[in-house]
């Protein structure tokens, strides 16, 4: 019974720490026009590995997420993202380049997650996210995008410490004012070096089309 409880605890902690580092992009490099909005919601699947003793367990963990972005000023928008089960994230994105069909932007974000482990210890995770966004519009209703990113994580409570994550995601935009994102990403953590991947599908809509 203790072994089963220990495994369940380890799986829960792994899910809430590594897997709930939701690094999906689900947006292009184009910012939302001032006073307008874009929203999306969808499902993701995280593929990772967990080592318990001499055993290695493959984890395929689903999650739901929703995102709302609003234009603040020209070339700058703000986003709010919620992942279930996972962190709450806020971010800013600034578009540097608008060269016809090609766009380039940089961003910065913060996310927070807190939970209680079976040992009654409260664990809090604080992430600083630094992404770069690139996108190319093949037509008003179809485009491609990519986003390399770096994440610095501070873990408080339990075995406190810091960790870095890095990798990139790429995807397709299907539709303009309303449509879907299809995306895949691959990442690594600085502590274990083990890769983990994410697949995402989300539906988007809003008052500001991606291509005017």
Question: Per residue in 47-103, pLDDT tens?
Answer: 987 766 677 778 888 999 999 999 999 999 999 999 998 899 999 999 999 999 999
Out of 2-16, 26-40, 85-99, 150-164, least confident range: 2-16
Other CB atoms within 10 Å distance of the CB of residue 169: 23
Does the pTM surpass 0.85? The reply is yes
Q: Two tokens at 111?
A: 């996310």
Which of the four pLDDT bands, split at 50, 70 and 90, describes residue 3?
very low
Instruction: Write the CA distances from 109 to 12, 17, 116, 129, 179, integer angstroms.
Output: 25, 18, 24, 5, 25
CA–CA dist 189, 109 (Å, integer): 18
pLDDT tens profile 149-192: 999 999 887 677 898 999 999 999 999 999 999 999 999 988 76
Does pLDDT of 17 surpass 60? Answer: no
pLDDT tens digits, 133-149? 999 999 999 999 999 99
What does the pLDDT read at residue 185?
A: 97
Question: Does residue 120 carry a pLDDT above 70?
Answer: no
| Residue 13 φ/ψ region, left for φ over 0, alpha for ψ in the -120 to 50 degree band, beta for the rest | alpha
Radius of gyration of the chain measured on its C-alpha atoms: 18
Give the residue, 5 or 149, on which the prediction is more confident: 149
pLDDT at 168: 97
91, β-bridge pairs: 79, 109
Sign of the alpha-carbon torsion through 130, 134, 140, 144: negative
pLDDT at 74: 96
Structure-model confidence comparison of residues 5 and 11, the more confident one: 11
Task: State whether residue 200 is helix, strand or coil.
Answer: strand
């Amino acid at each position: 019974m203790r072994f089963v409880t220990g495994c369940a605890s380890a799986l829960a902690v792994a899910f809430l720490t590594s897997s709930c580092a939701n690094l999906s992009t689900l947006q292009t490099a184009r910012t939302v026009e001032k006073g307008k909005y874009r929203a999306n919601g969808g499902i993701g699947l995280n593929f990772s590995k967990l080592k318990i003793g001499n055993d290695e367990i493959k984890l395929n963990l689903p999650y739901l997420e929703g995102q709302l972005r609003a234009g603040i000023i020209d070339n700058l928008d703000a986003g709010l993202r919620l992942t279930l089960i996972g962190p709450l994230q806020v971010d800013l994105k600034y578009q540097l380049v608008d060269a016809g069909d090609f766009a380039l932007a940089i961003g910065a974000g913060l996310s927070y997650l807190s939970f209680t482990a079976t040992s009654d210890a409260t664990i809090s995770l604080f992430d600083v996210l630094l992404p770069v966004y690139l996108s190319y519009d093949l037509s008003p209703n179809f485009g491609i995008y990519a986003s390399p990113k770096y994440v610095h994580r501070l873990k408080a409570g339990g075995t406190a410490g810091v960790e870095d994550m890095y990798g990139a995601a790429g995807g397709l935009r299907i539709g303009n004012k309303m449509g879907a994102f299809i995306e895949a990403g691959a990442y690594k953590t600085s502590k274990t070096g083990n890769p983990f991947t994410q697949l995402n599908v989300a539906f988007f809509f809003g008052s500001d089309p991606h291509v005017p």
